[in-house]
Amino acid sequence: MLEDDFGREVSGVRISLTDRCNFDCVYCHNEGLGDTRGPMDAQDSEMSADDVVRFLEVVEEFGVEKVKFTGGEPMLRQDLEEIIRRTPDSMETSLTTNGTFLPGRAEALKEAGLDRVNVSQDALDREAFAEITKSGAYEKVIEGVHAAVDAGLTPVKLNMVVFKHTAGYVEGMVDHVAENEGLQLQLIQYMPELTGKPEWNIDIGRVHDWLADLADRVETRDMHDRKRYYVGEGMVEIVDPVENETFCANCHRVRVTHEGYLKGCLNRNDDLKSMGEMTKAEIRETFREVVANRVPYYGEYLVQNDSGEYVLNEKYLGVKA
């Protein structure tokens, strides 16, 4: 396995298959690319299934054992089943989706080799859901979650971004996963630095404290040092990257944008490396280079100046892959 200068082995890759989406969530960071969503038709600039598979075959050689497919909305890719079918068997394969296209496709994804799915569901309330996602697809998403559980794409993690619009629904979602087999809850700290709306922020520390009191037991996951709270039959995981040095110190994934750029960190766009028409040998070298240039973001790469603004740590100015 390749390791960066901070001792972080790269055991996983996170691939955005498209930046297109049928939702318009108010907080969306579009995997670090900001609001770059274009037309809904398939775009020539998107990596082809062949490109994705070639990359996966290369990183398998380096011991990468997990792949996460995401987007935009990855299920807008009609060749998603093909990509999953051609993903190396040695890899754990998961998908993060808004869930609308799972009804009718969950079974086929399972048959193609998908192990599990995360579905974004920010509230158990139709109106709040519509306000956040700017879509009327609440029922479709609920149906999608059921389809995923029935197809055995479990555990199905429900992704909920904790911010001003959802804070009142956290308790209901915790009860929901405790009562329904096959579901887990993933509470995601809102990342204001990607949206420019700091006023929507909620203190995630309070959610940790509340869950610590409620839980029967607490575990810490290797990836990102994330806390997992076990409440009754349910599990609630907190994803809290913001200003969290421990999270970054345990970051083991390289990212790939929908256009086939490798990047060492979600929040950095200055270390992009295009795979373009590369041969496997060239991808091998580029992957090594991107891993060698990885630096933790919070605590190391990004620091606050005297006015409280986030600026690049001088130590890393000029670090470009």
Ligand X SMILES: Nc1nc2c(ncn2[C@@H]2O[C@H](COP(=O)(O)OP(=O)(O)OP(=O)(O)O)[C@@H](O)[C@H]2O)c(=O)[nH]1
Ligand Y SMILES: C[S@@+](CC[C@H](N)C(=O)[O-])C[C@H]1O[C@@H](n2cnc3c(N)ncnc32)[C@H](O)[C@@H]1O
C-beta of 237: minimal distance to ligand SF4 in Å?
15
Q: Which residues contact 89 (CB under 8 A, 6 or more apart)?
A: 113
241 contributes a contact to ligand X by CB under 6 A: yes
C-beta closer to ligand SF4: residue 71 or 234: 71
Q: Which does 141 bind (CB under 5 to 8 A by kind): ligand SF4, ligand X, ligand Y, none?
A: none
Tally of helices (H runs) and strands (E runs) in the chain: 9, 14
24 contributes a contact to ligand SF4 by CB under 6 A: yes
Find the binder of ligand SF4 among 73, 122, 240, 259 (CB under 6 A): 73
Question: What's the Cα-to-Cα distance from 224 to each of 47, 84, 99, 119, 217, rounded to whole Å?
Answer: 28, 25, 25, 20, 19
Find the binder of ligand SF4 among 10, 28, 58, 158 (CB under 6 A): 28
Q: Residue 229: which of 174, 183, 279, 150 has the closest Cα?
A: 174
Within 44-73, which residues bind ligand Y (CB under 6 A)?
70-71, 73
Q: What are the φ/ψ torsions at residue 94 (nearest 5 degrees)?
A: -135, 165
- For tokens 């100046």, the residue is 305
Q: Which does 68 bind (CB under 5 to 8 A by kind): ligand X, ligand SF4, ligand Y, none?
A: ligand X
What six digits make up the tokens of 308? 């409280």
**Residues found in the chain:** 321
Q: Residue 268: which of 305, 301, 244 has the closest Cα?
A: 301
Convert residues 213-242 into a mask of x (bound to ligand SF4 by CB under 6 A) and - (unbound): -----------x----------------x-
Stretch that binds ligand SF4, among 65-73, 79-87, 111-119, 122-130 (CB under 6 A): 65-73
96 contributes a contact to ligand Y by CB under 6 A: yes
Say if residue 11 carries a ligand binding annotation: no
C-beta closer to ligand SF4: residue 54 or 263: 263
